[in-house]
Amino acid sequence: MASVEATYKVVGMTCQSCAASVQTLLQQVPGVEKVEVYFNTQEVLIVHEPEKAPYEVLKAAISPAGYELIQDAHTQLLAQERFLRKMRNKLWIMGATAAFGMIVHVAPHWSFFSFLGQIYFLLSLPLVIWVGRHFWRPAWQQLRVRQLTMDSLITVGLIGSIALGSLEMLQEQPGHAITAAAEILFFVLIGRYLEEKARYRTQSVLGTLSTLAAPTARRLVDNQVEIISTTEIKPGDVLQVEPQETFPIDGRIIEGTSFIEESLLTGESLPTEKGPSAQVWAGTRNLSSRLLIRAEVSAQGTFLAQLIARLQKAQSSQARAQRLADKVSAYFIPLVLTLAAATIFYHIGRGENMFFAWERALSVLVISCPCALGLATPLAVQMAIGGAARSQMLLREIAQLENLPLATTWAFDKTGTLTEGHAQVHALSWNAPEYAGKLLSLTQRSLHPLSQALASYLEKETAPEPLEVFAYVELPGRGIVATLPTEKIFIGNPTWIAEKHPNLSIPSTTAVAAATEKKLIGVFTFSDPPRKRLISFLKHLKREGKKLVLLTGDPSLSGKELGEKLGFDEIYINLSPFEKAQWIEERQKQGEKIVFVGDGLNDALALRAAYVGIAVHRSAGPATQSAGIALLHDTETALPALYELSLRLRRIIAQNLGWAFGYNLVALPLAMGLFPGLYVSPSLSALLMSMSSLTVVLNSLRIRVRSSGGKTLPEMPEQPL
């Protein structure tokens, strides 16, 4: 049987070493050809033969090591909730055990307390072993496949503490070492719990987006309604959507008028009234009236599905700093075990007793913190991606956000990017006003801001004329060509129309012209005010030494005037989409790193060519898919917030890595007892190790999207943990 590729969720991975263990365990299953584990998203991609390695076999392969294989995102969230609840319960148990042990530890050495200490040892030992299963079971399974993880260090520390506690029991001095074991578990679990909680919150963003899609749809077949799964919808199907229902698919309205709630996908706070031929999106809500729509894509091709796929890809991507941390982590644990063994020989050689030497070795095992190193980048990345997604900033990969501060040049499109995108007809000249109804019908089909502005103006003057259109083509950077039974109509760039029809006299300053093959219909000029709140951001970029460039397809002088007014260093007008992309490619060959910010169909090539491509609010589908970053709400607030997020991400990753390396460089010599008279107990070592991980977690939680404006995605409702 042919091999298949499947992606599963994994619950229980707490570090990069865990991810390596999962990969090794799955690769040993017969019938598995390829395994890729993504710690960031808690996912694994497996290429396998379903007959030899079905899901049940794959799940059983990693279950003994403490990991759970899940088939869908919703089940993963439920499994993560169970995992967190169990961890919290163990945290309370170890907290109470450690607190009671500390009382016994500091109590006067009366016979009563000595007897109580023996009782404490006998009661706490099974609790330490039971809670310690969270670490020693996966450590044993990982050791069997020759893998060493943070669990391995903790397990060795626990075994050592239990061994010392047993010797203390024989010497009638119980309580000290077993208390250290309880404290080790308590402090380590605190860090683990907060790590998993932060990861759960980030993963819930995907769950939120997934719940926007309707699971079923009403399909009309021979005037009969049948309920089908959204996965069965095919392009061309006619679907019925009732009031207060969610649209199951992307399509166009063919009957009815209703108000549509689109805030979660477009950032618009108010419902929009839509009628026949208007576009609707899966995940948005029909508010007021029954509608009939015609599906344009399958369930996998909806804009919502593409957004989810984009977020999943971003969460699976690795930051550059993460690759460095992963390489260091691979050698870190063997180094710590070697240092622990060397510590024993060092202190015995100095004449110390075995108890003292073993205690120093335990401190070395416990105080080392590969988790802080392993979490330094992934957790910060996940918080940035999750925060951006909640604020409707969607990343294709984390490198796009990392690269943003490194750019030397920021290039902008004009219409809809630097301007409000609400162009209005400023002046017009009719040569053939009888074509007004036809122009209205044709411009209503286009998403280009100028087409929409012209349609809005014509709606006040006339009604759309029913047309039999044989062909309708929208050429990026040029305009619309509509083939009717008796003629062709051209609407768009006047330079383009003049090239096709040299006999027509068209003013060069005109924004849009309309013509047939034989005559000029009319010329139209527009006004589109600049985004006032974006001006301060442009000034900020200038202060940071960034070069500002305006690349616009507008042939009129308004583009040049706007660029000069906003302080752009270079201004290029009347550019085709190919010329924009070519300009970017040539400059980048010269060493410039260019951010291009644009929207619309004619920006797709430039967005793809740029070092970082940003598609702004209301971008057309191809632009959104080509861009590395898509902003789904108000550009004026989203763009500055995105830039601030990129700066904060780089700063926090640097802080986390600096702390993780610095902590281990100081803590390991301290635990080894290399400073005479300054010794750290295993209990204090566990506290310091936990605080190290906690510092990285709390620092990563500082990543927030500030001043994002617009409406944010809601949090997934959390069950009490």
The pLDDT of residue 254 is 92
The pLDDT of residue 252 is 92
The pLDDT of residue 240 is 92
Q: Establish if 578 belongs to a structural domain.
A: yes
What whole-number distance in Å separates Cα of residue 721 and Cα of residue 714?
Answer: 19
The answer on 520 and 490 residing in a single domain is yes
The last residue of a domain, from among 464, 499, 527: 527
pLDDT digits (tens, 9 = 90+) for 612-640: 988 886 554 545 666 788 887 777 788 89
Q: Establish if 537 belongs to a structural domain.
A: no
Least confident of 80-94, 307-321, 567-581: 307-321
Q: Establish if 33 belongs to a structural domain.
A: yes
The answer on 65 and 13 residing in a single domain is yes
What whole-number distance in Å separates Cα of residue 281 and Cα of residue 258?
Answer: 14
pLDDT digits (tens, 9 = 90+) for 433-469: 889 889 989 988 887 777 888 888 888 888 888 888 8
The answer on 101 and 188 residing in a single domain is yes
What whole-number distance in Å separates Cα of residue 363 and Cα of residue 304?
Answer: 51
In 3D, which of 716, 690, 711, 693 has the Cα closest to residue 94? 690
The answer on 195 and 269 residing in a single domain is no
Residue 559 contacts residue 573 (beta carbons within 8 Å) = yes
Kindly give the residue spans of alpha helices, DSSP state H, lying in 398-474: 398-403, 436-443, 449-461
The pLDDT of residue 720 is 35
The answer on 556 and 589 residing in a single domain is yes
The answer on 455 and 579 residing in a single domain is no
The pLDDT of residue 712 is 42
Q: Establish if 125 belongs to a structural domain.
A: yes
The last residue of a domain, from among 301, 325, 354: 301
The answer on 333 and 296 residing in a single domain is no
Q: Establish if 13 belongs to a structural domain.
A: yes
Answer whether residue 708 shows pLDDT above 90. no
CATH number, domain of 466, equals 3.40.1110.10
Least confident of 5-9, 72-76, 246-250, 405-409: 72-76
According to the per-residue pLDDT averaged within each range, which of 157-161, 227-231, 390-394, 528-532 is highest? 227-231
The pLDDT of residue 594 is 94
CA distances from 486 to 231, 466, 516, 517, 518 (A): 41, 14, 10, 11, 12
- 212 confidence band (pLDDT: 50, 70, 90): confident
Q: What is the mean pLDDT of the chain?
A: 78
Answer whether residue 112 shows pLDDT above 60. no
The pLDDT of residue 15 is 65
Quickly count helices (H) and strands (E) in the chain. 23, 26
What whole-number distance in Å separates Cα of residue 582 and Cα of residue 605?
Answer: 9
CATH number, domain of 604, equals 3.40.50.1000
Percentage of the chain exceeding pLDDT 90: 12
Tell me the backbone φ, ψ of residue 267, rounded to 5 degrees. Answer: 85, -5
The pLDDT of residue 104 is 67
Domain count, the chain: 5
Q: Establish if 228 belongs to a structural domain.
A: yes
pLDDT digits (tens, 9 = 90+) for 342-383: 999 999 988 888 878 888 888 887 787 666 666 677 778 778
* Tokens 């549509």 -> residue: 260
CATH number, domain of 65, equals 3.30.70.100
The pLDDT of residue 626 is 67
- 110 confidence band (pLDDT: 50, 70, 90): very low
CATH number, domain of 278, equals 2.70.150.10
According to the per-residue pLDDT averaged within each range, which of 109-118, 282-291, 413-422 is highest? 282-291
Most distant pair of Cα atoms in the chain: their distance: 113
The DSSP code for 530 is B
pLDDT digits (tens, 9 = 90+) for 389-436: 777 787 877 788 888 999 999 999 877 677 776 677 877 788 888 898
Q: Establish if 389 belongs to a structural domain.
A: no
Q: Establish if 131 belongs to a structural domain.
A: yes
In 3D, which of 355, 370, 339, 371 has the Cα closest to residue 161? 355
The last residue of a domain, from among 593, 627, 661: 627
Residue 491 contacts residue 380 (beta carbons within 8 Å) = no
| Cα 707 off chain centre by | 19
The answer on 470 and 343 residing in a single domain is no
Cβ neighbours of 604 (radius 10 Å): 24
The answer on 119 and 56 residing in a single domain is no
In 3D, which of 79, 13, 660 has the Cα closest to residue 370? 660
Could you tell me the residue range of the domain that residue 560 belongs to? 398-410+546-627
The answer on 184 and 232 residing in a single domain is no
The answer on 555 and 494 residing in a single domain is no
Answer whether residue 569 shows pLDDT above 90. yes
Residue 682 contacts residue 188 (beta carbons within 8 Å) = no
What whole-number distance in Å separates Cα of residue 504 and Cα of residue 524?
Answer: 15
The answer on 566 and 622 residing in a single domain is yes
Answer whether residue 586 shows pLDDT above 90. yes
Kind of pairing between the strands at 393-395 and 279-280: unpaired
Helix or strand (DSSP H, E) at 186 = helix 176-212
- Beta strands across the sheet bearing 471-475: 424-430, 520-527, 512-516, 488-492, 479-483, 471-475
In 3D, which of 465, 456, 453 has the Cα closest to residue 489? 465
Instruction: List all residues 6 or more positions away from 55 whose beta carbon is below 8 Å from its beta carbon.
Output: 6, 8, 69, 71
Token digits for 407?
A: 């750019």
- 482 confidence band (pLDDT: 50, 70, 90): very high
Q: How much is the pTM?
A: 0.62
